[in-house]
Homo-oligomer: A and B are copies of this chain.
Amino acid sequence: MAGKRVLIIYAHQDPKSMNGSLKDAAVTELSSQGCQVTVSDLYAMNFEPRATRKDIVGALSNSKSFNYAAETYEAYKKGALSSDVVEEQKKVQEADLVIFQFPLYWYSMPAIMKGWIDRVLCQGFAFEPPKYFEQGLFKNKLVILSFTTGGTAEMYFKNELGGDIRYILWPIQHGVFHFCGFKILAPQISFAPERASEDKRKEMVTSWARRLATIWDEKPIHCTPSWYFE
């Protein structure tokens, strides 16, 4: 949809990887629709994942003990967050849709992307009680997790050792994004590209592009425990 703004938070070390191809396909498809697409290429940016005192410019509110959440909340209100965090917050603020593109590392996102979550989504910017969940600050934004797995789809069923793939989406989709008010579109899961043929890999990329062609018509999931656990 012309005029829509999309932010892609992308975490892979190699542009020629499957994740790189999925990211490129999204940029191409969404740009061709007239969307304005921004990519945060976390490894290329050498994005800082550690939540430290350096994220606050100038004096702390409490110099006796360091509480990261409290200090970044105060710094946000004063405009005293470090510039790399502010830069990412601006991109989120402008986005209608945020796509997280990453390989699954240990049933979750890679640390560099978790660091983006920890540092960018501070109180004041991303939530402000009682503004969370349905009343959340980002209730007019959409989010999609698009990720690759090491295991095949068959390994992620309820009664398999891997457990249902939805189990691992709860902390991220519900705990992070729903908490901030985002409407959550169904995840795009590219299972086990490393075990797949070149044709199958290409098909994964094409099917992602095909889905994005009508992404603005999609309805969000009902982000309640029953979606994940029943």
- Residue ranges of A at the interface with B (Cβ–Cβ < 8 Å): 13-14, 16-17, 43, 46-47, 49-53, 64-69, 105-112, 114-115, 117-119, 121, 133, 150, 158, 161, 163-164, 167-168, 170-172, 174-176, 194, 225, 228-229
Contact = CB atoms under 8 A, between A and B. Distances in A.
Given A50-B49, A51-B105, A111-B112, A163 B174 contact: yes
Contact of A112 (B51, B108, B109, B225): B51
A53 B121 CA distance: 28
Given A13-B53, A150-B69, A225-B167, A118 B107 contact: no
A115 to B, nearest CB: 3
Given A49-B115, A167-B171, A225-B158, A16 B108 contact: no
A73 B54 CA distance: 34
Contacts of A115: 49, 111-112, 115
A17 B176 CA distance: 24
A108 B171 contact: yes
